[in-house]
Amino acid sequence: MNNPRKRKKKKRKPSLAFRTNILLFTVFLLFTALILRLGILQIVHGDTYKKEVEKTEDITVNKPVPRGLIYDRNYHLIVDNEGINAITYTRSKTVKTTEMIEVAEKLSKFISINDEDMKAVKERDMKDFWILLHPEEAKKKITKAEYQKESDGELESKDLYKLQLDRITEKELASFSKQDLKTLAIFRKFNSGTYLTPEIVKNKGVTDKEMALVSENLDELPGVDTYVDWNRKYPFDSTLKSILGRTSSANTGLPKEKVEYYTSRGYSLNERIGLSNLELYYEDILHGQKGKFKTTLDKAGNIIGTESLTEGQRGKDLALTIDINFQKKVETIIENELKANKGSGNTKFLDRAFVVAMDPNTGEILALAGKRYSYDEEQRKYVMNDFAQGTYTTAYAMGSSVKGATILTGYQEGVISPGTVQYDAPIKLKDTNAKKSYTNMGPITDLTALKRSSNVYMFKTAIAIGGTQYTRPEQTMNVTDESFDIMRNRYAEFGLGKQTGIDLPGEQIGYKGSIRHAGLLMDFSIGQYDTYTPLQLAQYVSTIANGGYRMEPHIVKKMHEPVMKKGEIGPVFKEIAPKSLNKLSMKDEWIKRVQEGFRQVTQDTGGTAASFFANRPYKPAGKTGTAQAFYDGPNWVPGTVQPDTWNLTFVSYAPYDNPEIAISVVVPWAYQSSDNQMNKKIAQKVYDAYFNFKGGQ
């Protein structure tokens, strides 16, 4: 009998061998396909994949350049750039926080850190740094239950981080050594910059030794480099400095409120920009054309090389209309007069004075000066501070200086004409105090009214514009509401109550009273209602001086292309041409009539300024002003009664028959009880200085 098992075993052998062969054949096919695929990849697509592996990224980064220089009208350098040593850090996209801390720690051994940067380290910075240095201890600040809440979506990761910050103890923060804090100060600088943009770590007091140590160890300090930076330098110290303006520093960079505006225009976060006055107004000119360099990154984002594309060009240079030596002299005159008069017993509120000098024919500003003399509680003494920007940012009641505009408005409105006689005697309206001139002058013409500064002549002119007349004491008087608009519109033709157009930011127009009645219209006519800036006053008198053209004042005369060689001036890029904003809508003979009145003020016996100017060779014309005002300065407590005080002003031009300079002098809150005549003293000394200098020409 045959064994069934043997028969079954014999039948299985061919089947197993077949399956094995099939499996081997399949493996053979797979390996063949793989080899073919590898061959195709290497032979057909090899170059493509090789390029992908070796792929790099080129990124163009801007390099800031020094700002343009600023000169006076005679090309005396008044704002320069001073080269200084600097150390920078450039953060790559792939650098880890721990690597940055390691570099900061190494760098801290080679350089010192300024007190300013150390003080900038706040408690929050220390807490963040503690968490970075103690990750395990930081994790233990969070309970298991709180981690579970995060998993359940009840808390976010930022909530846990806030809990960690809140639970760091004072003892843990006190564990930082001086070296740790120094490392933290440097790390803050590293972390404040944007990717691939050099951030200045230190540029104040970097010694040659520090530069050498850092340069010798750059291989151990990835991202760190040395650099020649620059700062603004002022050869004439504080003279005109507030008008020149400020720039941000490399530490502060772009102001937070302007980050979006400037970054959209290609600025980096740490770039310096103009923050005030000329530096701000001419930012686009002074900023320059930034250099560009190419940073090459590998596929992982590491920096593998840099290449300069363009060197860039520093900002264009500005030449001002101002003679810096004349400016210095004017500032000294103001300082001396403030100090001399502050000692008087009737000058409790006196703390400032202003002078604006301009060419009435072109609008060029020849001097723009203001000083504030006040008691400093910390220093326990009086100190003199520059306040030149107050010439166009602060406004005051200007008094009789504006009477030229009142007379011309009277001519234009047909209520008076050249030679009109009016009787100067007190005006007493119902339920009001008498309004009068400093003395009763009797019958006077328009010229005498200017020469002797009659208030009553102006009062009667104003109420005539208002559609009425003064006929008897205690009468009730009503004027039309539109009379205020008429007078303000006429005054605006001179620049009073209107922006002058000066090339500086922040110009104010002054206060316009809102209440309208006859008494206030009369006050308006003698400069004791609306307020004006010293610059507006200068534009007003310039308009009279040049025959009726309101010239736009400007402080920049020319713009020049930059040149590399120190001391050389580049070709003119742009020259600011004189610009007339409007022509007075008044007859030429009327303007000449007021010019004659102004001449009599300073040249004829009885003129309110003749004792100061009648014998001066430059023969000025002008108009004095004294305004009864209320003190609202820095020592006034809001809510209390405003003390009475007097403002002193003076507007003038010289020579009267061929004007080349026009000035306004404003001394707010000059005295309380007796006239100290600071306005005329200052004006006389300013004219003496100018005609000695002849404008520096």
- Residue 4 in domain: no
Average confidence (pLDDT) over 473-494: 94
Nearest residue to 654 (alpha-carbon basis) of 602, 582, 606: 602
Domain count, the chain: 1
What pLDDT, on a 0 to 100 scale, did the predictor assign at position 407? 98
For 678, the token pair is: 């600071």
Tell me what pLDDT residue 9 has. Answer: 46
Spatial distance between the Cα atoms of 30 and 545, rounded to a whole number of angstroms: 103
**7 pLDDT higher than 50:** no
Q: What is the mean pLDDT of residues 398-405?
A: 97
DSSP assignment of 465-478: HTT----STTB---
Residue 696 has pLDDT above 50, yes or no: no
Alpha-carbon gap, residue 232 to 236, rounded angstroms: 12
On whether residue 373 sits in a domain, the answer given is yes
Q: 598 or 14, which is more confident?
A: 598
Q: Is the pLDDT reported for residue 301 higher than 50?
A: yes
Q: 276 CB contacts (<8 Å, ≥6 apart)?
A: 245, 246, 505
Cis peptide before 571 (omega within 30 of 0): no
Here the CATH number for the domain that contains residue 682 is 3.40.710.10
- Give dist(CA 263, CA 269) in Å, integer: 7
Q: Please report which confidence band the pLDDT of residue 59 belongs to, taking 50, 70 and 90 as the band edges.
A: low
* Domain-located, residue 256: no
Calculate mean pLDDT across residues 360-366. Answer: 98
CA pair distance 68, 288, nearest whole angstrom: 7
Q: Say whether pLDDT at 345 is over 50.
A: yes
Helix or strand holding residue 375 (H, E):
strand 365-376
Q: What is the mean pLDDT of residues 543-550?
A: 98
User: Domain range for residue 459?
Assistant: 326-548+584-696
Highest mean pLDDT among 238-242, 331-335, 516-520: 331-335
Is position 348 within any domain?
yes
- Predicted confidence at residue 292, as pLDDT, reads 63
Q: Given this model, what pLDDT does residue 596 score?
A: 98
SS3 state of residue 687:
helix
Q: Which residues of 7-42 are buried (b: 16+ CB within 10 A; e: fewer)?
A: eeeeeeeeeeeeeeeeeeeeeeeeeeeeeeeeeeee
Summarize pLDDT for 220-260 with one digit per residue, the tens.
Answer: 999 898 888 888 999 999 999 999 999 998 778 888 888 88
Q: Percent of the chain, pLDDT > 70?
A: 90
Over range 296-314, report the average pLDDT: 65
Residues 6+ apart with CB under 8 A from 30: none
- Residue 363 dihedral angles phi and psi, to the nearest 5°: 85, 0
Which residues participate in catalysis according to the annotation?
400
pLDDT value of residue 695: 44
- How confident is residue 377, by pLDDT bands cut at 50, 70 and 90? confident
150 within domain boundaries = no
Query: DSSP H helical segments within 481-587, as ranges?
Result: 482-492, 518-525, 534-545
The pLDDT tens digits for 262-281 are 888 888 777 889 999 999 99
Tens of pLDDT, residues 633-692:
888 888 888 889 999 999 999 999 999 999 999 999 999 877 789 999 999 999 999 999
Backbone angles phi, psi at 414, to 5 degrees: 80, 15
Q: What is the mean pLDDT of the chain?
A: 89
Residue 554 has pLDDT above 70, yes or no: yes
pLDDT band at 559 (very low <50, low <70, confident <90, very high): very high
Identify whether 510 is part of a domain.
yes
- Helices then strands, counting H and E runs in the chain, come out as 26, 20
**Comparing 96-100, 318-322, 494-498, which segment has the lowest mean pLDDT?**
96-100
Q: In the structure encoding, which two tokens stand for residue 295, read together? A: 């940073």
Cα(369)–Cα(386) distance, integer angstroms: 8
The dihedral over CA atoms of 480, 484, 486, 487, expressed in degrees to the nearest 10, equals 130
Burial of 502 (0-12, 13-18, 19+ CB in 10 A): buried
Query: Residue 464: pLDDT band by 50, 70, 90 thresholds?
Result: very high
Cβ-based burial of 632 (10 A; exposed 0-12, middle 13-18, buried ≥19): middle
CA distance 686 to 680: 10
User: In the structure, what pLDDT confidence band is assigned to residue 297 with cuts at 50, 70 and 90?
Assistant: low
In this structure, the number of other CB atoms found within 10 A of the CB of residue 343 comes to 7
Can you point out the beta strands (E) in 387-480?
422-424, 442-444
Give the pLDDT confidence score for residue 549 in this predicted structure.
98
Residue 535 falls inside a structural domain? yes
pLDDT of residue 550: 98
The CA-based dihedral angle spanning residues 338, 342, 344, 349, taken in that order and rounded to the nearest 10 degrees:
110
Residues 6+ apart with CB under 8 A from 687: 613, 616, 618, 620, 652, 654, 661, 663
CA 565 to each of CA 231, 319, 568, 570: distance values in angstroms, whole numbers, following the listed order: 18, 17, 6, 10
Rounded to 5 degrees, φ, ψ at 356 are: -120, 130
Residue 62 has a pLDDT of 62
Higher pLDDT, 28 or 120: 120
26 located within any domain: no
CB neighbours of residue 515 within 10 Å:
8
